[in-house]
Structure 1
Amino acid sequence: MNFSPKKKASNIVLLIASFVIVSLILWNTNSFFKKFKEEERHKMEIWATAHSELLQAPLDADPGELPIKIFQNNTSTPMILVDKDGATKTHNMPEEKANDKEYIDRAIEKFKKENQPIVIDYLGEELATLYYGNSQVLNKLKYYPLALLLIIFLFGTVIFFFFKTNKASEQNKLWAGMAKETAHQIGTPLSSLLGWNELLKAENINPEITKEIEKDIARLETITERFSKIGSLPTLEKHDIVAETKNAFDYLKHRSSKLISFSFNTQIERATVLLNPSLYQWTIENLVKNGIDAMRGKGNISIEIAKDNNYVHIQVSDSGHGIPRSDYQTIFNPGVTTKKRGWGLGLSLVKRIVEEYHKGKVKVLSSGKSGTIMQVSLQVVA
């Protein structure tokens, strides 16, 4: 991982350079559009001049090849020629609409907005007015800058999500590294505790004391194992979900306040799932502790297990203050917490363990003033 200022500066430079390049393309396209529009107007002025020469020429005179060639070459620009008497003549427009006055009037208004009309005169006398619209090529170029703006937006979005994903990846690596280092640091005093407990046994003290110490040492070993597995794919094996849930429940029950009432109910005796017991117990622990925090240390916690088709559902209920419906999804995001001193990692870990590692589902089944029910669903295997 590298959080150095040089890396951040290079990312910013890359982002700015990318936007400059796209902006230059946009500016160049806009300049090309204006230039092309000027060239098209110049072409129309030439056409108007040629038409003026034809109007001035005697009826029996040869108009020459140049005016005729100018007329023949202009096949892309739609035009409406209105003479001094109000008669209209269309060019490069649908022939069936040539006598449709409403269509012609609408087209003239449209052409006025697109281009300045050209007055054809001779010796100060107005002979006709030429209205013309944009050619098909020019119309396509007109929308090209909009397409580029869309490209800039999409490009910026991709860059944003790239940097966001990159940052999240670095943070995940940091958390994984810290977790593994924590597991490593716990290992040394844990070995000493094992030795001290053996010495206590040799002193013939109350066996219940050393037995409880052994349970806590086993608990520390489990925590160490959990932290050591963060950032790597855990091994899943077939286990009885009912037994594993009961083990986690019993441990939490004996080490929680007497003000908490615990109840465990199951509709099935056994259900085999692919499971990592250590991580699964961590899931149950987080859900139960969240419930206890929501009840402020006093209330009812219950776990119910039921089977539906190919899934077994574990429901953890509490009698706390509940979760707003608007937070049902965001509550699983890292950093989101309703506690004043919470880190917002518990439920995000639950979601990752259940959905990413065990391919299951976790959700807020229901929540209200009477409490919250969280449901974990795992697929049953033969």
Structure 2
Amino acid sequence: MQINPPGKFSNAFLLVSAFVIVSLILWNTNSFFRKFKEEERHKMEIWATAQSELLRSSENQELGSLHLKVLQRNTTTPMILVNADGSVKINNMPKVSPEDSTLIQKKIRDFQAENSPIQIDYQQEHLATLYYGNSEVLNKLKYYPIALLLIIFLFGAVIFFFFKTNKVSEQNKLWAGMAKETAHQIGTPLTSLLGWNELLKNEAVNPRITAEIEKDIGRLQTITERFSQIGSMPKLEPRDIVAETKTAFEYLQARSSKLVTFTFRTKVVSAEVMLNESLYHWTIENLVKNGIDAMKGKGEVSIEILKGSQTINILVCDTGHGIPRKQFQEIFSPGFTTKKRGWGLGLSLVKRIVEEYHQGKIKVLSSGKEGTVMQLSFKTLS
């Protein structure tokens, strides 16, 4: 089944059209550069003709006014005229001295690489050789195609990141929609379970059974509440993050294997942070469960709370196999997982809860063979 094919077709059409337009501009600029170079060559040939008239003229007054104008009007093209007797004349090169033979020879080689020299002859007699370079305008135009190629590259990069961001945004909407739909679907049987549990209480069933059922129903209600808040901005309230972290941590400790050691360390008595209690507990549970999975059900999971100047840092540590450094950012991407049966949504949801909903930060503080440390940072209210 195709999803939004018109949108994909229009995006592809715009991308191809943009590249075609830029390519046409590049081709046209290159064509203009070649024509402009040919025109400059023609202009220099006319100048060389006027110069030959000057060289073979015995007296300057015999030179026509047209030839003088041609020689005087060329003020943009740098050139070096080497006469048959070896003397050198320089035009439009204010930074080059006629006495600096080394620099003049270097310039002659540069000019030869740019343009073929023009031989000035008269009646099979060699009068001079004209070496000329590109004018300032032509030099600027020469680098214009390079600038266009850079523009094409940057344009392509912008389009790539736009499509990538758009794709991630669509994925996030899909996960959020699935979460809300899951919460909606759980709601109906959950209501029925509440009713059935009340009937069991009236049937003189062992109170311990109905009490345990109530705990499970309460857990399902918490899960439903969490899923229903994904995709919309949850309500935040001032909460003691130390107490909330300890509550979530102890809840998991009571329900985990005895092979896992739980350690809670803090020198911070309390710290108020704007929190959504349900989503924050979900965050701690996800990180702790990931740590337990990384240790393959055996090892130590610990939480340490540290106070910064205006922040509170929650360090979730495990003694698992660690995460490669190149995956430090990748693990938060939707769909990324190292588990054979994982969906790759846990850490993606954790990042969204921490950074988008609570304006906090989450990162892999360190990871290696000795284990992994995940750091959560939140701004405190005081």
2:54–2:60 Cα contact (<8 Å) kept? no
> How far is 1:196 from its partner?
1.0
For 2:83 and 2:24, the matched residues in 1 are separated by 44
Tell me the equivalent position of 2:341. Answer: 341
Distance 1:366 1:224, change over 3 A: same
User: What is residue 109 of structure 2 aligned with on the other side?
Assistant: 109
Q: Given the two structures, how large is their TM-score scaled by the length of structure 2?
A: 0.94
Q: What is the 5 A alignment of 1:146-225?
A: 146-225=146-225
Partner of 1:246: 246
Q: CA deviation at 1:346?
A: 1.3
Q: Report the identity percentage.
A: 70
TM-fit CA distance, 1:286: 0.2
Structure 2 residue 91 is the aligned partner of structure 1 residue 91: yes
Give the secondary structure class of the aligned counterpart of 2:365.
strand
- SS of corresponding position for 2:62: coil
More displaced stretch, 64-73 vs 268-277: 268-277
1:21 paired residue number = 21
Structure 2 match to 1:368 = 368
Aligned match of 2:236: 236
Deviation at 1:366, TM superposition (A): 3.2
State the match for 1:276 in structure 2.
276
Q: How many angstroms apart in 2 are the aligned matches of 1:18 and 1:60? A: 59
Q: Name the CA distance, whole Å, in 1 between partners of 2:142 and 2:200.
A: 87
In the other structure, the counterpart of 1:7 is: 7
Post-superposition shift, 1:283? 0.3
**Counterpart position of 1:296:** 296
1:217/1:337 Cα in 2 relative to 1: closer, same or farther (>3 Å)? same
One-letter identity of the residue aligned with 2:53: E
8 Å Cα contact 2:96/2:103 also seen in 1: no
Tell me the CA shift for residue 99 of structure 1. 1.9
TM-fit CA distance, 1:211: 1.6
- Shift in alpha-carbon separation, 1:42–1:62, aligned structure 2, 3 A: same
For residue 97 of structure 1, give the secondary structure of its aligned residue in structure 2.
Answer: coil
Structure 2, unmatched stretches of 5+, are none
CA distance in 1, matches of 2:350, 2:42: 71
Secondary structure class of the residue paired with 1:252: helix
Say whether the 8 Å CA contact 2:292–2:298 is kept in structure 1: yes
Q: Tell me how far 1:284 sits from its aligned partner.
A: 0.7
In the alignment, what sits opposite 1:381? Answer: 381
- Please state how far the C-alpha of 1:116 moved relative to its aligned partner: 0.5
Instruction: Report the residue type matching 2:242 in the other structure.
Output: V
Tell me the CA shift for residue 242 of structure 1: 2.5
What is the Cα deviation at residue 61 of structure 1? 5.4
| Match in the other structure for 2:52 | 52
5+ residue gaps, structure 1: none
Offset of residue 360 of structure 1: 2.0
Letter in 1 for 2:24: L
Query: Alpha-carbon deviation of 1:333?
Result: 2.7
Whole-Å separation in 2 of the counterparts to 1:100 and 1:47: 25
Between the aligned partners of 1:96 and 1:22, the Cα distance in structure 2 is 39
2:100 aligned residue? 100
Change (3 A) 1:307 1:78: closer
Bigger mean CA deviation after superposition, 289-298 or 304-313: 304-313
Using the TM superposition, give the Cα deviation of residue 55 of structure 1 relative to its aligned residue in structure 2, in angstroms.
2.4
Amino acid at match of 2:298: K
> Does 276-285 or 90-99 show the bigger shift?
90-99
Shift of 1:254: 2.7
Equivalent pair of 2:96/2:104 in contact (CA under 8 Å):
no
Is the 8 Å Cα contact of residues 260 and 299 (structure 2) preserved in structure 1? yes
Name the CA shift for 1:368/1:215 in 2 (closer, same or farther; >3 Å).
Answer: same
Q: d(CA) in 1 for partners of 2:71 and 2:146?
A: 33
Q: Which amino acid aligns with 1:102?
A: T
Where does residue 32 of structure 2 map in the other structure? 32
2-structure distance, mates of 1:254, 1:106: 84
Q: Deviations over 1:91-135 (max 9, x none)?
A: 111276122111111111111001000001111111111111111
For the residue of structure 1 that corresponds to 2:153, the secondary structure is helix
Distance 1:96 1:330 in 2: 58
Q: How many residues are treated as equivalent by the alignment?
A: 381
Partner Cα separation in structure 1 for residue 230 and residue 90 of structure 2:
76
**For the residues of structure 1 that align with 2:121 and 2:130, how far apart are their CA atoms?**
11
**How far apart are 1:4 and its partner, in Å?**
2.4
Rounded Cα–Cα distance in structure 2 between residues aligned with 1:233 and 1:102: 73
In structure 2, give the amino acid aligned to 1:159.
I
Q: Distance in 1 between matches of 2:332 and 2:173?
A: 19
CA distance in 2, matches of 1:300, 1:95: 75
Consecutive aligned runs of 4 or more in structure 1 exceeding 6 Å deviation: none
Q: CA deviation at 1:153?
A: 0.7
Q: How far 1:243 moved relative to its partner?
A: 2.4
Check 1:356–1:259 CA distance in 2 against 1; reply closer, same or farther (3 A cut): same
- SS of the counterpart of 2:235? coil
* Corresponding letter in the other structure for 1:103: L
Give per-residue Cα distances to partners, 1:42-72, cap 9 Å, x unaligned: 0010011111122233427521111001011
- CA distance, structure 2, for counterparts of residue 50 and residue 27 of structure 1: 35
Aligned partner of residue 104 in structure 2, secondary structure: helix
The alignment's TM-score, normalised by the length of structure 1, stands at 0.94
Distance 1:60 1:85 in 2: 19
Offset of 1:184 from its aligned partner? 0.7
| More deviation, 249-258/131-140 | 249-258
Greater alpha carbon shift after TM alignment, 218-227 vs 275-284: 218-227
